[in-house]
Amino acid sequence: MRSVPGQQFTFDWNPSVGINPGLAHADVAYPGDQWVDRIALDVYDGWYNRGWAPGSQQPSQAERDVVWDEVLNGPRGLNYWRSFASTHGKHVSFPEWGLQLWTVGDGLIHGGGDNASFISRMSAIINDPAWNIDYHAFWEQRGYGVMDPDSDSARIVAVPQSRAVFLSQLGGGAAPLPQVTTSSTPPTQLPSTTLGTLPASSSTTAPAPTTTTTASTPPSGSDDRVLLRALDLGGPDHQWESRPYAAHDGETPVPDFTTNGLVTCLDPAAAGTPPDSPELAEIVRCGLAKDPQQPPLTLTFTNLAPGRYEVVLVTTDLDPVTGSRPRATAFINGEQRRLERPATDGGWWMRRRPWKLEVTGTSLELTFPDDGLAPSIAAVELWQSP
């Protein structure tokens, strides 16, 4: 196509945000800088654990906040792809993004409903020159976007708040809604898009990625969390997805952190799908196992200020020793939590969704009962929330 006289084609390489457990990670398939002009991402607010029936109670704002954190900071999230694009000297585009307002095979909706905060957060990224977003296209299919009236017969979720935010922040103001003819049998339509572009003042050169070995703050568009500590539980210092992991080799003391676990090194492939990046492969090569003489396994952070914190684990959904699925129960300062697993039979090493809690004292203790999870813990992150 580039050989056609007079052509001015540009080519988007278009992975989706997040991980599909049945497929290799998208960055493994990157064709090379000479073939790609920009990194194009499909982004939806459809990562909810529970589904809900049309007309029933929609997810709470707290649930929406958790999903946004996964979209932004989770494995192959927006921040990961932003760093990936910067490293390869590419801009970013959103050729398809929107609200997941449709039902799936179980007859339920797994999106955030009238999720104005998702629209606002995406708008902040789209309009931030530091992200180098060349263009965006909001998904519009009759009844499943924001432009059709809530009275349209094809619509199953009303979105007055999302529509108002979209028009205000991305649509040039409160424009009138289009007129749509309704009927009891909606016609078959191909999806269309609502297009938007950034001002011409956006940067034309992708900035070089930056790293730090101290507490780090996520890029613009995040929720202002601060990474206090990231530990490779059984290895040396590492850098992974723009996050510095400090060494915890089981011999050298780590300030303000203690554990009764034993460092155990295993073949990552024994847990299922092997990691696809050298950094992650090195992180998960060794991890913590329970000391049979000191159950249960505990990880303790000390000298903390009272406030809101988040704990993130790098783990797998299979026990690397037995190959069985762990029950994945944990306690944080005595409060029981459950670790979610991806829907795959192959196993997958990944950074998990954060556990959030309020610390009223000066320490945070994670306790893992004898139910199969502990041998799969390769790293831990501690974040402070505003």
Domain boundary, last residue among 197, 214, 240: 197
Q: Which of 8-17, 69-78, 346-355 has the lowest mean pLDDT?
A: 346-355
**pLDDT at 107 (0 to 100):** 81
Q: Over the stretch 207-266, which tens digit does the pLDDT of each residue have?
A: 333 333 333 334 333 457 888 989 988 888 888 777 888 888 766 678 899 888 888 776
Q: Over the stretch 21-72, which tens digit does the pLDDT of each residue have?
A: 555 667 678 888 999 999 999 999 986 667 888 888 899 998 899 889 889 9
The tokens for 351 are 């950074």
Kindly tell me if the per-residue pLDDT of 7 is higher than 80.
yes
Q: Are residues 145 and 234 in the same domain?
A: no
The tokens for 103 are 């039902």
Q: Are residues 136 and 236 in the same domain?
A: no
**pLDDT at 38 (0 to 100):** 95
Total domain count for the chain?
Answer: 2
Say which CATH number the domain at 371 has. 2.60.120
Q: CA-to-CA distance for 187 and 381, rounded, in angstroms?
A: 50
Q: Are residues 124 and 240 in the same domain?
A: no
Residue 81 lies in a domain: yes
Q: CA-to-CA distance for 249 and 252, rounded, in angstroms?
A: 6
Kindly tell me if the per-residue pLDDT of 189 is higher than 50.
no
Q: Are residues 172 and 286 in the same domain?
A: no
Average pLDDT, the chain: 75
Which residue is associated with the tokens 């069985």? 324
Residue 4 lies in a domain: no
Residue 209 lies in a domain: no
Q: CA-to-CA distance for 8 and 92, rounded, in angstroms?
A: 18
**pLDDT at 99 (0 to 100):** 94
- Other CB atoms within 10 Å distance of the CB of residue 226: 13
**pLDDT at 24 (0 to 100):** 61
**pLDDT at 14 (0 to 100):** 92
**pLDDT at 328 (0 to 100):** 55
Q: Binning pLDDT at 50, 70 and 90, where does residue 10 land?
A: very high
Kindly tell me if the per-residue pLDDT of 194 is higher than 50.
no
Residue 365 lies in a domain: yes
Q: Are residues 26 and 135 in the same domain?
A: yes
Q: Over the stretch 288-322, which tens digit does the pLDDT of each residue have?
A: 877 777 778 889 999 999 999 988 888 765 544 44
Residue 210 lies in a domain: no
Q: Are residues 230 and 132 in the same domain?
A: no
If you ran DSSP here, which 8-state letter would residue 220 be given?
A: T
Bridge partners of 193, per DSSP, are: 139
Q: Are residues 253 and 185 in the same domain?
A: no
Task: Compute the average pLDDT of residues 273-297.
Answer: 72
Q: CA-to-CA distance for 221 and 292, rounded, in angstroms?
A: 44
Please report, for residues 92, 142, 144, the alpha-carbon distance to residue 178 in angstroms, rounded to integers and kept in the order given.
30, 11, 14
Percentage helix, strand, coil, to 5, in the chain? 20, 30, 55
Residue 230 lies in a domain: yes
Q: Are residues 101 and 34 in the same domain?
A: yes
Q: Are residues 177 and 248 in the same domain?
A: no
Q: Over the stretch 90-102, which tens digit does the pLDDT of each residue have?
A: 999 999 999 999 8
Q: Is 373 exposed, middle or buried (0-12, 13-18, 19+ CB in 10 A)?
A: buried
**pLDDT at 367 (0 to 100):** 86
Identify whether the C-beta of residue 313 lies closer than 8 Å to the C-beta of residue 230.
no
Kindly tell me if the per-residue pLDDT of 285 is higher than 60.
yes
Task: Compute the average pLDDT of residues 124-136.
Answer: 93
Bridge partners of 330, per DSSP, are: 337
Bridge partners of 133, per DSSP, are: 92
Residue 55 lies in a domain: yes
**pLDDT at 224 (0 to 100):** 72
Length reported for the chain: 386
Kindly tell me if the per-residue pLDDT of 190 is higher than 50.
no
- 310 in helix, strand or coil? strand
Can you give the residue range of the structural domain that contains 291?
Answer: 226-385
Closest CA to 166 of 189, 139, 134: 139
Residue 3 lies in a domain: no
Task: Compute the average pLDDT of residues 269-281.
Answer: 59
More confident residue, 16 or 45: 45
**pLDDT at 17 (0 to 100):** 85
Q: Are residues 164 and 236 in the same domain?
A: no
Kindly tell me if the per-residue pLDDT of 191 is higher than 70.
no
